Amino acid sequence: MNNDISMKTHGLPVGVRRAIAYIVLIFFSFLCLIWFYILLINSTRSHQEMTLGFTLLPSTHLLDNWTSLVNGTIPIANGFLNSIIVSGCTAVLCTYFSAMTAYAINTYRFKGRTAIATFILAIMMIPGQVTALGFLQLINKMGMDDSIVPLIIPAIASPVTYFYLKQYMESNLPLSLVEAARIDGSGEFRTFNTIIFPLIKPAISVQMIFAFVGSWNNYFTPALILHTDTKKTLPVLIAQLRGADWLRFDMGQIYIMIAASIFPVIVIYLILSKYIVGGVSAGAVKG
């Protein structure tokens, strides 16, 4: 298919090729956005209006849908709070301790350093699902079943975040700075907290967003651990909507709940998109 396109465009004047590129780009942008547009429109419409057909313009029932969701059977306020606590704590712990790990490997020349770096690289791609069985048994034994703690603590060991931060430190952190801090009598811990950590802030903030979003969207583990409705995070509550006899549900409520769990991330993303898109390519292997 690609072959076809490049054959066709070959020989065409730049203006035509540019026009084709714009049309294709606009088409795919439309394909990405249309679903969220429909979601936004339907969140403002009442159940009755929606049964009549789709309209391109919003209606006036946004607040009605919101109040009926908040007053409904789903503990949405708790869900929000739980999701914010879990994602916020995960983002902080994940970036701080990954930076610490990356700093250890990047700065110090101790015995077994290369072996440890290789080990972390090797376990990077192993998915969490394959250890879920043992993880659940462990959580039960530790009495942490139906608690958000086991969703947060494991974030301290995040090989992917570590890998990105180590790459960043390698090219942006002069070791002479650490030497200078030592001569000035700064302890190793203080050097890390007060000098190094502020220096790598750009990388930290990008990774914080990724950690936050990853945790915010996570469904597999929370669904297995959380059982009490008021302790559940948003993805688990959304799955519950699907589990219910959803045809009897108020569609306005369903749409506004989806919108409420998606749009915070979209807003954060739109504000910080420059750094996020840059962060994606920076994390890629240098071919």
Let me know: does 200 contact 99? Beta carbons within 8 Å.
yes
Within 168-187, the residues that bind other proteins by CB under 8 A are 182
Cα 211 to Cα 158: distance, rounded to the nearest angstrom: 9
| Of 57-65, 70-78, 200-208, 231-239: span binding other proteins (CB under 8 A) | 231-239
Residue with tokens 């929606």: 50
Nearest distance from C-beta of residue 122 to other proteins, angstroms: 5
Cα 22 to Cα 20: distance, rounded to the nearest angstrom: 5
Q: Does residue 199 interact with other proteins by CB under 8 A?
A: no
Q: Which tokens hold the place of 192?
A: 């890390």
Within 104-163, the residues that bind other proteins by CB under 8 A are 104-105, 107-110, 113, 116, 118, 120-138, 150, 153-154, 156-157, 162-163
Cα 148 to Cα 222: distance, rounded to the nearest angstrom: 8
Q: Does residue 270 interact with other proteins by CB under 8 A?
A: yes
Query: Quick one: 32 or 57, whose CB is closer to other proteins?
Result: 32
Query: Quick one: 64 or 196, whose CB is closer to other proteins?
Result: 196
User: Which residues neighbour 205 within 8 Å (Cβ) at sequence distance 6 or greater?
Assistant: 272, 275
Query: Quick one: 182 or 201, whose CB is closer to other proteins?
Result: 182
Q: Does residue 164 interact with other proteins by CB under 8 A?
A: no
Within 203-222, the residues that bind other proteins by CB under 8 A are 213, 216-217, 219-220
Q: What is the largest CA-CA distance in the chain?
A: 75
Q: Does residue 76 interact with other proteins by CB under 8 A?
A: no
Q: Does residue 46 interact with other proteins by CB under 8 A?
A: no
Q: Does residue 286 interact with other proteins by CB under 8 A?
A: yes
Angle, vertex CA 163, rays to CA 107 and CA 216, nearest 5: 130
The candidate with the shortest Cα–Cα distance to 154, out of 204, 218, 234, 240, is: 218
